[in-house]
Amino acid sequence: MSRRLPDNEYEKTRSYRLSQWLSGEKDLLLDTVEMKPQESFQEDTEAELERKEEKRRLRDRVFDIEKNAEVRIFQKLYRVFSVIFCIGLVLILLTGVSGLPPFGEASNPVNNEVPKRYIESGLQETGAVNIVTGMILDYRAFDTLGESHVLFIATCTVLILLRIDRKKGENSIESLNANDRSHEPKNDVVLQTVAKILVPPIIIFGIYVILCGHLGPGGGFSGGAVIGAGLILYLNAFGFAKTERFFTAKTYKWMSFGALACYALAKSYSFYTGANEIHSVIPLGTPGAILSSGLILLLNICVGIVVAGTMYTFYVMFRKGGY
């Protein structure tokens, strides 16, 4: 038999607070978390007029539907032709797919000497237990070299489009309005606590995925994405002021340069020695050990750095303002 507590004692227990929270009488997060209702969007009349005027001008001048017969006919034909085009493309692709060899048959053309060698002697030749890593970073490393530059150049294009360059020392209202940092949540306890708990394991897990890419599932691309996600979570919780202590535009520049240069140099060495039949001095090590499989570990780290930097930079750039 449980004993009934007096009311004043009962009010101090956890179960009382829980029942209060469940019944909605009290919000435990009140006064501890910054909670502001979202301000409704307000546009001043001038901007609104300008926007409407622009829209009208676009309609009248560029797409003058009443007078411009060409545009009118085009807009009608466009719908018809787009439907016809799509149906046509679907039919063509379906015809092609229906003629393909059935999925997963042993006698398919793809099961030829190429994957056979990857599977049978991949371990001896590359030293990587994970055959996929051995394929992309050793057999076909040239493609992966190109692929990591695709990421790099994609970031550069985003930088061209979205980076707002502030002059040094300039802190006018305009430049503050150009980014959205004033809207950052401040001291959000829930987010910060969760981030504090989650970010270290996320980043360590990412590093693990990168470092063990040649031993099991994983590698630079996936591990880098994990680290990038961790960094983004950290940025969301603590804001730019904290992240800029260790990650700025300059960091990204040097990081990606270092990683890509390292990749290019390492692979030039192995391409050069390979093509000129020079014996490579890089040992393959014992398969299964962390320091094994020649250059693959180094390349995985390089790719991981590039991917993490790319993810983080993309996120920062798509926020208003940039670093």
Does residue number 247 form part of the binding site for another protein (CB under 8 A)?
Answer: no
Which residue stretch of 96-104, 175-183, 210-218, 236-244 sits at the interface with another protein (rule: CB under 8 A)?
96-104
Cα separation, 25 vs 198, whole angstroms: 31
Nearer to another protein, 30 or 97 (CB): 97
Q: Does 276 bind another protein (CB under 8 A)?
A: yes
Does residue 271 touch another protein according to CB under 8 A? yes
C-beta of residue 251 within 8 angstroms of C-beta of residue 231: no
Among 29, 49, 90, 114, binds another protein (CB under 8 A): 114
Name which position in 68, 71, 125, 131 contacts another protein (CB under 8 A): 125
Q: Compute the least distance from the CB of residue 318 to another protein, in Å.
A: 16
Min CB(192)–another protein separation in Å = 33
Binder to another protein among 130, 243, 256, 313 (CB under 8 A)?
256
List the interface residues with another protein, window 130-149 (CB under 8 A): 138-143, 145-147, 149
Q: Which residues between 294 and 313 bind another protein (CB under 8 A)?
A: none
35 versus 150: smaller Cβ distance to another protein: 150
The residue from 1, 15, 277, 281 that contacts another protein (CB under 8 A) is 277
Whole-Å CA distances, 187 to 69, 176, 298: 58, 20, 39
Site string for another protein, 153-192 (x = CB under 8 A): xx-xx-xxx-x-x---------------------------
Whether residue 309 contacts residue 152, with contact meaning beta carbons closer than 8 Å, is answered with: no
| Residue 273 found at the interface with another protein (CB under 8 A) | yes
| Chain residues in the site for another protein (CB under 8 A) | 92-93, 95-101, 108-114, 117-118, 125, 138-143, 145-147, 149-150, 152-154, 156-157, 159-161, 163, 165, 253-254, 256-257, 260-261, 264-265, 267-268, 270-277, 280
